[in-house]
Amino acid sequence: MLLLRGSLSKHSKTVASRVSKRGQPCRTLATSDEPLVKTALNTLHKQLGGDMVPFAGYELPVLYKGDNGGVMKEHLWCRADGKCSLFDVSHMDEMTGEENSERDTRSPPRHMSRTQPRSPTEFVFTSIKRGYVLWNSEVNGATKFGDMKHFQEQLDQFDGDVTMEYLEDSMQLLAIQGPGAAAAVSKLLPDAFDLERMAFMTGTNTTLDGIDGCRITRCGYTGEDGFEIAMPAENAESIAAKLLEDETVNPTGLGARDSLRLEAGLCLYG
């Protein structure tokens, strides 16, 4: 993962301008006869002036209207010192399961039993029909339904001790990215939680704004420092609203999400 440092203002404006002129992300996968899925933040997005578009079968904001809205302003905000951007990434799928550590892992091609608990890792899915180990996984939003089908087909062919549960209905996922992300998130964490000691690509279960059942991971896909936060769906709106009370936090849509990771040289997929 690349962390960007230094002044990128001129280059950032160029990238953001190109995405802004394009209008919206090109992966609008819902068709006219398919009802769009709404995340738990749908009402909040609209209250904040979100310009809602179809994306991967979901209704999500491509940008927000207002003084700090628009692809370019949202992009530059995420890069600015002391500031950070809040993204709704609940269209990504989340699942959990039990492992069989003795079984060779081929799909995904990684021994999850060798991964430390709550430590994120990236992997690809292969088509080899073998059993696999699964702890916690977040699946690319644009391919999630195909991924879920693939997982289930693999499980149906494997008679070992592997179970899996999809958490889409019970959990939501937010990403907060930018130089000020740690300071903003720290305000909602327990006093004893030292966020500065959390290394990049590590995570832990915690309470957030007094709400149990949350998980915070130091990772992201913008080129900035940041966190992805999983939380119970019924608490997602209140946690997002609490984060947005901080004047350094700006709601950010799909347009800037694309331009930020394009600028960072990260794969534009999902």
- Whether residue 228 is annotated as binding a ligand: the answer is yes
β strands within the chain, DSSP E:
37-38, 50-55, 58-64, 84-88, 93-98, 136-139, 163-166, 171-177, 203-208, 211-217, 226-232, 249-251
Q: Please tell me the distance from the alpha carbon of residue 113 to that of residue 100, in angstroms, as a whole number.
A: 8
Q: Given phi > 0 = left and psi -120 to 50 = alpha, else beta, which region is 191?
A: alpha
With CA atoms as reference, report the closest residue to 76 among 262, 268, 259.
Answer: 259
Amino acid, single-letter form, for residue 197: R
Phi/psi at 130 (nearest 5 deg)? -135, 160
The token pair that represents 65 in the structure block = 């209207």
The token pair that represents 137 in the structure block = 């996984």
Residue with tokens 């090109």, as numbered in its chain: 26
Q: Please tell me the distance from the alpha carbon of residue 150 to that of residue 82, in angstroms, as a whole number.
A: 42
Q: Is 259 within 8 Å of 18 (Cβ atoms)? A: yes
Residues placed in the known binding site for substrate: 228
Residues placed in the known binding site: 228
